[in-house]
Structure formats: C-alpha cells, structure tokens
Amino acid sequence: MERTTLRRRALVAGTATVAVGALALAGLTGVASADPVGSTAAPVSAGSLSPGLLAAMERDLGLDADDARSRIANEYRAAAIAAGLEKSLGADYAGARVSGAKATLTVATTDASDAARITEAGARAEIVEHSLDRLEGVKEALDRAALRKAPKDVPVWYVDVEANRVVVNAASTAAGAAFLTAAGVDSSLVTVARSAEKPRTFADLRGGDAYYMNGSGRCSIGFSVKRGTQNGFATAGHCGRVGTTTTGFNQQAQGTFQGSTFPGRDIAWVATNSNWTPRPTVNGYGRGDVTVAGSTASVVGASVCRSGSTTGWHCGTIQQLNTSVTYPEGTISGVTRTSVCAEPGDSGGSYISGSQAQGVTSGGSGNCSSGGTTYFQPINPLLQAYGLTLVTSGTPTDPPTDPPTDPPTDPPTDPPGGTWAAGTAYAVGATVTYGGATYRCLQAHTAQPGWTPAAVPALWQRI
C-alpha cells in the first residue's frame, strides 16, 4: 500500500538536524540527500552530543549525561530495528514504541507466529488485534472528513500504537461522536477522549532573535537546506506564503519563501541570499550548538528536544506519530505529537533526537511555564515535497547564491502540464490533470503557485 511505503521511507530516513530559531545566521554545512532510504544513524560517542542538549534532557527528562547518551544510543538502535521489522512483517505490523529509562523497544503484530522473529531482532513482541495499516485507514477517513468540514470542538486525532486504537480528543463525547459519524468510520476502533486542549500556531508574537516575515511577524528557522546550489532553510508553512520576504535576527535582508503549504500540511522553505551561510548546527542558546548528523525518524516514546527563538531548548518525548490537529485556520495532518512545550515565536523551529533531525515546530497548546503539548511536521516528507537536501556535517558547503530573481517555482515533482492552473478556484470533487496524472480536489481552495496537485496531498488525491 502507498501509505505503508511512505511510512517506511520516513522511518528509515536519512540524516540531519536543525539550525534553529533565533540565531539563524549561524547557518550550516554539509548536505544529506532528501531520499532517506538506506541511511543509518551514527553511533553515540562520549563527545558527540551537545552539552546544551544534554543539559536540557537533564532538566526536562531527569537524565544525567551518561543516562542521556545511553538512552539516545538505545533509541537509535530501536529505530533501525523497528524499520527492519516493519518491512519484514508487512501487513501484520502494528507499530513500535520505546519505553522506560533504557528505551526498551516493543514491536506489535497481529500474527502470533511473528513473535519469535521480533524477539530474535532484539525487541519485545506484543500481539494485538489491529494492524497499523487498518488503524491508519480509519485515521485517513477522519482526515478526509476534516478536509470537507473542519470538526467543531475536536482538536486532535491520532493512532495510539500502545492502545492499538485510534484516539479522538474532543471537547465532549457528543462532538467526538458527530465527527466519527461524519467520517463514516468504524467506531469500535476509536476511543473518544475528553480534552480541553486548544492548539494554536506559534507565530503571533513580535520581536526577539529569529527571522521576520515581511518585516513584521516572527518565526524560527528549522533546518538549513539546499536545492541544488541554492541555500535556504526549512520552516513552518503558516509562517509565510510563497513570495513572502524574510529578514534575519539582525533585521537584514535574508530571503524569500519559495514553497509553502498551510493548512493541510504545515511546511515551507525559504531561499536565502549570499549573506547567510548554511551550517549543520542547532542553536544551543548559550550551552553550545548541536551538530546535525542525520534525520532518522524516532519511534513513539523516544526523547526529543526542541529549539526555538522564544523559549530556547526544551525536551520531552514523542507521544504519537501521524497525528491530525485542528487549528483555527484549519486541519493539519501528518504531524508528530510531543510532550515538549513551546510558545508563540517558536513556530518553524527545530526538533532533534540526539543528533538526528525530526521536524519543524507547527503549533500546540499550553506554554513553557505550566507545560504543554506540541506538534511538529516531520522533516523528511518536507524535504521530499520540495526537492530539498538537508545540510549536515561532513560535506563541504557550496558557495552561497542569491535567491532566484524569477518567480518561485513549484517543487520538482511531476513534469508540468495538464489542466491544473494557479489562480483557479477549485471545488471539492473537481478533477484536473497534472504531469500525466489525474487528481480529485479534496478541499475547496483557490490554487496558488507551488500548490500543484502532486505537491499538496492535503488538497488533491491522485486517482
């Protein structure tokens, strides 16, 4: 199934981690391919982790430096084992998670005969009723219903691999039930949980060291990237549209948004001018920068730290993958839910597990005084959507170039051509052709440059 293939590619994804929030100028060096297949995580040595990251993990997770290194090493190993078992178990696979101080890996399956294979691979086997594909099919039905009409008082839904169910967080059981009815899903696979959560994006404060959109709103840089020889950075889509100009933390001209999707997804990239040099680092906010080594996706339960221009370093754990969340602006799908806090202005900033990039800050609820829940867009699908490579350590940096003077172009997906056209208003159910394929509109919208059917799966479904 296409869903399984994409998930596997993201899980074993290649390398790298962030150049964060406020001091974006620090830049980055070296490049990792946007194609994650075949990449591996680097071993964790005594000196390979940033003192700032270790200090944040001690503050937020209660781990001393040795425990943090041990946990990260175990999480790297768990991610590799889980990726291999997902491939070998096929349709039986029901998800993976780590738990406990030693990040013990549990892999679930619907077939008891798989238990020996899981154990031999170094994981604890768990036999469950529903496969991950089946549960994600239910979640996708909920996503489609939300695209037709954003659910009222239903902020979040996701697949809970530990409970082996889809969970819908709602302000009331009635609101949750109405959403299930609208989606036409099997309610026996879903748990509706009462929640007062009110997620929002984090781009509404002004001031501070970060980057600014059209000289006003502030967000945080996520990861340094390249597209060919063009330098730039990945960030959140709600921070700016295609053509939005940016200035850096020093209020000097910086770049222009070349691609942006929001809602549906929350992804974007900015091409920067020659004054900004990319480096494979994440701002450690006074504790030493973190070097980017890869972008291997972590599993549920793994530790993760976030860097942003408002609140600096904070850590927590990954709670669920492939989550959908409804903001006032609309529903976002495919984000990862975490226990890390964040505040306005942190949007677009980096999430990193050890030395492996995970994603860019989208939004959440709560704050860093009382605690909160946040969501990030995984970095590997972002790179793939826009044809980018992630800047990492060990690879020479190409000479910087100025942003393109021509109008921004679509991400390199399918070859151009067909009936789709920017500026056209499309209704739900409308069909177009693009790049030799036919697509059906999932959400009414007016097409913008960069929102081609192949690049924006939240708006178009290939048929």
Q: Is 88 helix (H, G, I), strand (E, B) or coil?
A: helix
> Alpha carbon of 118 to those of 93, 325, 398: distances in Å?
10, 32, 44
The answer to whether residue 314 is catalytic is no
Q: Single out the residue of 372, 23, 16, 17 nearest to residue 220, CA to CA.
A: 23
Q: Single out the residue of 264, 263, 260, 251 nearest to residue 233, CA to CA.
A: 260
Q: Single out the residue of 98, 201, 196, 92 nearest to residue 154, CA to CA.
A: 196
Nearest-angstrom CA–CA distance, 323 and 110: 22
The answer to whether residue 238 is catalytic is yes
Place of tokens 């222009």: 256
Which token pair is 288? 């030493």
Helices and strands (DSSP H and E) totals, the chain: 7, 28
How far from chain centre, in Å, is Cα 401?
27
Q: Which of 143, 266, 346, 410 is catalytic?
A: 266
Which token pair is 126? 């768990």
Beta-strand pair 190-194/165-170: parallel
Q: Which of 195, 347, 362, 393 is catalytic?
A: 347
Which token pair is 434? 């693009």
Q: Which of 130, 238, 314, 445 is catalytic?
A: 238
Long-range contacts of 185-189 (CB under 8 A, 24+ apart): 185/138, 185/141, 185/142, 186/138, 189/130, 189/134, 189/135, 189/138, 189/165
Which token pair is 108? 């679930």
Place of tokens 């974007």: 268
The answer to whether residue 114 is catalytic is no
Q: Is 271 helix (H, G, I), strand (E, B) or coil?
A: strand
List beta partners, residue 432.
439
Phi-psi region of 327 (alpha: psi -120 to 50; beta: other; left: phi over 0): beta
Nearest-angstrom CA–CA distance, 58 and 51: 10
- Judge residue 151's burial from the number of C-beta atoms within 10 Å of its C-beta, 0-12 exposed, 13-18 middle, 19 or more buried: buried
List beta partners, residue 98.
105
How far from chain centre, in Å, is Cα 270?
17
Which token pair is 96? 């993976």
Under 8 Å between Cβ of 188 and 211: no
Which residues are annotated as catalytic? 238, 266, 347
